[in-house]
């Protein structure tokens, strides 16, 4: 049984993230989804709380009947030398992972140095980036097609579109 680790901030969870998880599950038995920067919320680059990001992921995966995943919260420690072991402690209860999927150059470097197999994901997954989505929301541009339908509904239901606009003005 192989387990993959997929690390991201998911600010917000979008169709690129969703498609990566589907591809991971074509190659591996399950995926541990690490929500990083969990201490961050209510800022222009991190407008969503960890719980809101978790809900987005769960709604999108449920919508597609995807069940072979676990979600783990990991806060930042701002110490590159300790970051991999910090993450391992959080993930350990969910199983030993065989490969790391990431779109972060730093994460790729740190996990390779720690001896892990790393699969690089292009920063703009399927031409979509969370930064672009936040910008579109802030400017009242069309963005809904860039996230799973359930995520779009959820973002609106908690008035996050208004929050993002407010935060972008600060």
Query: Which domain CATH number covers 83?
Result: 3.40.50.620
What is the number of structural domains in the chain? 1
Q: How far apart are CA 144 and CA 137, in angstroms?
A: 9
Average pLDDT over residues 4-8: 96
Radius of gyration of the chain (CA): 16
> Among 170, 33, 36, which Cα is nearest to 97's?
33
Residues 6 or more apart in contact with residue 166 via CB below 8 angstroms: none
Q: Provide the β-strand partners of residue 30.
A: 3
Pairing of strands 3-8, 30-35: parallel
pLDDT tens sequence across 28-85: 999 999 999 999 899 999 999 999 999 999 999 999 999 999 999 999 998 999 999 9
Q: Which domain holds residue 136?
A: 3-169
* pLDDT for 164: 94
């Amino acid at each position: 049984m192989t387990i993959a680790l997929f690390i991201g901030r998911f600010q917000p969870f979008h169709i690129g993230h969703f498609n990566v998880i589907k591809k991971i599950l074509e190659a591996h038995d399950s995926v541990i989804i690490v929500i990083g920067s969990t201490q961050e919320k209510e800022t222009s680059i991190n407008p969503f709380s960890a719980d809101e990001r978790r809900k987005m992921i769960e709604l999108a995966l449920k919508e597609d009947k995807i069940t072979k995943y676990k979600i783990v919260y990991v806060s930042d420690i701002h110490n590159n030398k300790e970051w991999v072991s910090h993450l391992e402690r959080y993930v350990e209860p969910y199983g030993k992972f065989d490969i790391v999927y990431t779109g972060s150059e730093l994460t790729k470097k740190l996990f390779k140095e720690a001896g892990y197999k790393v699969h690089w994901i292009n920063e703009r997954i399927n031409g979509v980036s969370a930064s672009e989505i936040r910008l579109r929301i802030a400017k009242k541009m069309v963005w809904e097609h860039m996230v799973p339908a359930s995520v779009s509904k959820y973002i609106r239901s908690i008035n996050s579109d208004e929050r993002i606009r407010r935060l972008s003005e600060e």
